[in-house]
Structure 1
Amino acid sequence: MKWLQAIKDYQFYLKIERGLSKNTIDSYTRDLEKLILFLEKNQIKSSPISIDKDIIQRFIYQIAKEVNPRSQARIISGLRSFFDYLVFEEYRKTNPTDLIETPKIGIKLPDTLSEQEINELISAIDLSHPQGERNRTILEVMYSCGLRVSELITLKISDLFFEEGFIRVLGKGDKERFVPIHNQAQKYILTYINQIRCFVKPKKEFEDTLFLNRRGKGLTRQMIFTILKNLAMDIDLKKKISPHTLRHSFATHLLKNGADLRAIQQMLGHESITTTEVYVHLDKSYLREVVETYHPRK
């Protein structure tokens, strides 16, 4: 079995059997491409079937010089998943990554913005600019609904259920969830649709896409990053932010204001409550308040 065919079969497995998103599959693929590049540079002739632990270990040593421990751990995890698949399909008897240690990494607390900083970002948008109304709506929706950037740019007009007060979101692995949307975000969306989007002619396949560029196509992830980066510069924000910062801020502000962790988990679309629990670490005072409020001997 050759590498290209093995990767192609693996991608199909990740998509059909595990239901992973394109972005996740692309990430797994990039890790394997790094391994293949390492083999080529070092003139190592090993197939997915014959490659052994020693070669994988040499690759990991090389990668450790180029990336941080967190990225190194992710690459090892990606390789382990690939070889688990080969074992599952009985192409191999053992997984060469089984005895390779993953570097220990601490909990990386997500960056967040204060409510005032969120307001300053949104207020900095130039509404006289043709795309100003759209950009304000984008930030409001990302923050008020806690959306991933991939969920935002694929949001459809048919996903809006304003009478019920929800939007339908297609998350990781094409998992559907319904997220509450408050009146302010609804108002911005309707203004954008009725006053801005109506003058843009959507290209084929983008007729139902909510957020469009001037040429009638959907926005890219990079465009959202650029919008935020420019706004951060406008208000002289010293923090390094990304679209995910708004999602982290959404969860953190809900938690600080007394929202239930399980409810936040559902709104964020986290499969495991453990993922959501990272937000508890952002504000230790929350834990103290829980004990003081609910403990029988308070």
Structure 2
Amino acid sequence: MKAIEIVLRFKEYLETERSYSKYTVLNYLKDIEDFRNFLKTNGFADLLEAKPNHVRYFISFLHGKGYNERTIARKMSSLRSLGRFMVREGIADLNVFADISSPKIKKTLPKFLYYQELDNLFEAIDVGTVVGKRDYAILELLYGTGMRVGELCSLRIQDLDFYNSSILVMGKGSKERYLPIHDHVKSALLDYLEFSRDELLKKNKKGSTDILFLNFKGGPLTERGVRVVLNSINLKAANALKISPHMLRHSFATHLLDGGADLRSVQELLGHENLSTTQIYT
């Protein structure tokens, strides 16, 4: 079997069985492609003939190129996943990546926003405009529920349950969870649905869509689009820091725990599979 066939089968596995997002799959494939290019450049064999020494040489090469420990560890995680897949599918007898240690990652506390910085963001939005109502609802949802940006972009109108004050979210691995929405979030969503979404949808030349958040052309808002929205809001707010959707998620978790919420509850709200992932906020 050719290496490209293995990679394509692995890609299908990530998309179908693991239900990984398009962005995550692309990262896996990029890491594998980097390793294959390294093997080719140095005259080594391709994936099927790769040896543990080749993997160690690759790690040294990455260090020499100035990659940090976190990036190298991620690349090794991608390769180990590929190795497990090859063994499972009977393509290889041994996972050559399994026993290669990744560099130790220095633990850093997640960056979060202080309350004044959050207030600056909300106050910077002109809610008198169609786009402003949408942006306000996005900011309320990201901070008010702690959902991931990918989860926000995949929300459909029918996922909203205003009667029970909850929202159905499709998380990693296609795992569903219900998130409570407080009055501020509900109000922002209702305002967007009543006065903004239909106006944006009119610009969609491809027809209707049930995706909740729309871009200025009336199509589904992408993760990249959300980041552009947040950067624009932050520029107007004149906050002296860069923000991201994940920083709002960090802020949600940090503020909940500071307010006395228990770790298990925060874990469930964030959709973390392991409690240890949530413990970084403590």
C-alpha distance in 2 between matches for 1:173 and 1:230 = 31
Give the share of equivalent positions with the same residue, in percent: 40
Q: Give the structure 2 partner of residue 17 of structure 1.
A: 17
TM-score, structure 1 as length reference: 0.88
State the distance in 1 between where 2:275 and 2:44 align.
43
CA drift at 1:204: 4.9
Letter in 1 for 2:15: K
Q: Is the 8 A contact 1:168 1:177 kept in 2?
A: yes
- Contact 2:161-2:167 within 8 A present in 1 as well: yes
Structure 2: runs of 5+ lacking an equivalent? none
Q: Where in structure 2 are the equivalents of 1:45-124 lying within 5 Å? A: 45-64=44-63, 65-124=65-124
Distance in 2 separating the partners of 1:204 and 1:154: 18
SS in 2 for 1:131: helix
Indicate whether 1:167 and 2:167 are aligned: yes
The letter for the 2-side match of 1:63 is: L
Q: How far, CA to CA, are the matches of 1:37 and 1:99 in structure 2?
A: 22
**Residue 12 (structure 1) shift:** 2.0
Structure 1 residue 147 corresponds to structure 2 residue 125: no
Q: Secondary structure at the match of 2:167?
A: strand
226, 235, 238: which is aligned to 2:237? 235
3-state SS of 1:36 partner? helix
Q: Distance in 1 between matches of 2:145 and 2:205?
A: 27
Deviation at 1:82, TM superposition (A): 0.5
For residues 251 and 205 of structure 2, what CA distance do their matches in structure 1 show?
34
SS in 2 for 1:90: coil
Contact 1:127 1:133 in 2 (8 A): yes
Does residue 268 (structure 1) correspond to residue 270 (structure 2)? The answer is: yes
Q: Which amino acid aligns with 1:46?
A: A
Partner of 2:138: 138
CA distance in structure 1 between the partners assigned to 2:216 and 2:260 by the alignment: 41
Task: Report the CA distance between 1:35 and its aligned residue.
Answer: 1.2
The change in CA–CA distance for 1:269 and 1:61 in structure 2 (over 3 A counts) is: same
- The answer to whether the 8 A contact 1:21-1:174 is kept is no
2:169 is paired with a residue whose SS is strand
The alpha carbon displacement at 1:108 in A equals 2.2
Distance 1:190 1:30, change over 3 A: same
Distance 2:124 2:114 in 1: 15
Structure 1 residues 92 and 33, CA, compared in 2 at 3 Å: closer, same or farther? same
**SS in structure 1 opposite 2:18?**
coil
Asked whether the 8 Å contact 1:111–1:241 carries over to 2, the reply is no
Deviation at 1:268, TM superposition (A): 0.6
The aligned residue for residue 32 of structure 2 is 32
Distance in 2 of aligned mates of 1:149 and 1:117: 20
How far apart, CA to CA, are the structure 1 residues paired with 2:273 and 2:67? 28
Deviation, 1:49, is 1.4
Contact 1:169 1:179 in 2 (8 A): yes
Counterpart CA distance in 2 for 1:274 and 1:203 is: 46
Q: Which whole-Å CA distance do the structure 2 matches of 1:153 and 1:17 have between them?
A: 21
Contact 2:80 2:95 in 1 (8 A): yes
Residue 251 in 1 paired to residue 282 in 2? no
**How many Å apart are 1:206 and its aligned residue?**
5.7
| Contact 1:142-1:148 within 8 A present in 2 as well | yes
Letter in 1 for 2:12: F
2:3 and 2:48 in contact (8 A); partners too: no
**In structure 2, what is the Cα distance between the partners aligned to 1:102 and 1:206?**
47
Q: 1:164 to 1:209 in 2, by over 3 A?
A: same
